[in-house]
Amino acid sequence: THIKICIYFNSGIRGICVAGYTGAKSEILELLLPLKLYAGENQGLCAERDFKVQHGGFSEEPVESLIHIPGTRCVVTTGSSSSALQIWDIGGDDSDVIKRTGVINLKSTPAKGITIAPGLTDEPAVLHGSCISEVQLTEIATGRVLYTVAKESSDSVSGLQFVNACVFLICVSNGTLLMGDIRDPSTCDYPLQDSKSGLHWSFGLRSDSSQSEPSCCTVARLSSSGHMLLYDLRDLQSPFCQTQLNVQQNTSKNDFLNVSWAPVLNRCLSVSGFDGTVHIYNTMDWSTEGQSPQPVFSHRGHEMSHEAKYSSSLPVVTTHFWHQSRPKTLLSAATDGSLHVWDWVDKIIDR
């Protein structure tokens, strides 16, 4: 059994939440990022290079995904076997134990993993679903269902994200995107122009702020064979850019497919899940025709690690995140249990 790590960056709190398991027990840890990350350029007074375990807790089942609800000390997890979402309280200063405070039971045990995303409403809520017809928004404190998708479809969900407090996107694993609004049960569907079977799709949304209007957002669609399409959220029918990334299709673990937009830098996105690297691209250079774009940076740390040398299979990056404020800092985790925090350098522009 490999170790899987889910990371979610706690906005506003200088920490991340990590869940990993070996064997039977799964641990959820709130880690404080090393102080070194916050030290200024020439300020050398930080000895601390280590992650500090601020809080920790145990989960009976392996954690498949983990999200943090903004504005709270609350974390929601899904497990591989159960039909419920677990709610956890990270805790305050009086104790370092993360306690489970509640459960959201689902109607039935889903065939595939459940995708979860934090709601952006005032009352803490979580958007979740394993297939389209099961997507609903549940209030955490009461378990009340605030919204359900009115579409009958058993297509499996590969991604969920809120654009603002009401508008959200669902990405289906066959590549179709659905846009919904929690004030209206119907959704707008945007299937792919020529959908190829056997491919798994994931998406990444960039919005300028959590309350932004759809006009400021860009969406990237990525397939497990490296096909990438970029859209303005106002027009999900026609991509403003299409290209083929030079990556090897990894058919074994579609769950790891991940595309993220940089929150600070303009038109910069990152891709992982094909192998043990994270690739960063500057989409400004992209043109619709021509060869595959080259990444401006590739983080090979997980492949080159000490542990990777001695294991039979190369690690695969399971997830990665951009730091909210440091423009060129990312966090990534891989199947060998490694967690990296790294800065990248654009060889052409930076010296």
Partner 1 sequence: MIHYFNTLKVFTFVLHPWLVCKLTDMHPSILLNVCMCCFAGAGQDVGRSCILVSIGGKNIMLDCGMHMGYNDDRRFPDFSYITQNGRLTEFLDCVIISHFHLDHCGALPYMSEMVGYDGPIYMTHPTKAICPILLEDFRKITVDKKGETNFFTSQMIKDCMKKVVPLNLHQTVQVDEELEIKAYYAGHVLGAAMVQIKVGSESVVYTGDYNMTPDRHLGAAWIDKCRPDLLISESTYATTIRDSKRCRERDFLKKVHETVERGGKVLIPVFALGRAQELCILLETFWERMNLKAPIYFSTGLTEKANHYYKLFITWTNQKIRKTFVQRNMFEFKHIKAFDRSYADNPGPMVVFATPGMLHAGQSLLIFKKWAGNEKNMVIMPGYCVQGTVGHKILNGQKKLEMEGRATVIIGTLDVKLQVEYMSFSAHADAKGIMQLIRMAEPRNMLLVHGEAKKMEFLKDKIEQEFSISCYMPANGETTSIVTNPSVPVDISLNLLKREMALGGPLPDAKRPRTMHGTLIMKDNSLRLVSPEQALKELGLSEHQLRFTCRVQLHDPHSDNDTLGRIYTHLKSVLKTYSIQHVPDGTVIVESIVIKVTSSAEEPNLKVILLSWSYQDEELGSFLSTLLKKGLPS
- Summarize as ranges the residues that interact with partner 1 (CB under 8 A): 25, 27, 29, 31, 34, 42, 44-47, 49-58, 93-98, 306, 339
> Would you say 77 and 86 are in contact if contact means Cβ atoms under 8 Å apart?
yes
Nearer to partner 1 (CB atom), residue 46 or residue 103: 46
CA dihedral for 93, 97, 102, 108, sign (positive or negative): positive
Cβ 12 to partner 1, closest distance in Å? 22
In the DSSP assignment, the letter for residue 246 is: -
Q: Which residues contact 97 (CB under 8 A, 6 or more apart)?
A: 55, 56, 57, 91
Distance of CA 53 to the CA centre of its chain: 22
Q: Which residues contact 155 (CB under 8 A, 6 or more apart)?
A: 131, 132, 172, 173, 174, 176
> Would you say 210 and 120 are in contact if contact means Cβ atoms under 8 Å apart?
yes
Nearer to partner 1 (CB atom), residue 73 or residue 253: 73
Nearer to partner 1 (CB atom), residue 13 or residue 166: 13
Cβ 34 to partner 1, closest distance in Å? 7
Please write down the HEC assignment for all residues of 139-204.
ECCCCCEEEECCCCCCCEEEEEEECCCCEEEEEECCCCEEEEECCEEEEEEECCCCCCCCCCEEEE
Instruction: Give the span between the Cα atoms of 310 and 285, in whole angstroms.
Output: 38
Nearer to partner 1 (CB atom), residue 306 or residue 347: 306
Cβ 317 to partner 1, closest distance in Å? 17
Cβ 298 to partner 1, closest distance in Å? 18
Cβ 338 to partner 1, closest distance in Å? 9
Instruction: Give the span between the Cα atoms of 152 and 183, in whole angstroms.
Output: 18
Nearer to partner 1 (CB atom), residue 99 or residue 234: 99
Cβ 48 to partner 1, closest distance in Å? 8
Instruction: Give the span between the Cα atoms of 270 and 284, in whole angstroms.
Output: 13
Nearer to partner 1 (CB atom), residue 46 or residue 345: 46
Cβ 18 to partner 1, closest distance in Å? 9
Nearer to partner 1 (CB atom), residue 37 or residue 216: 37
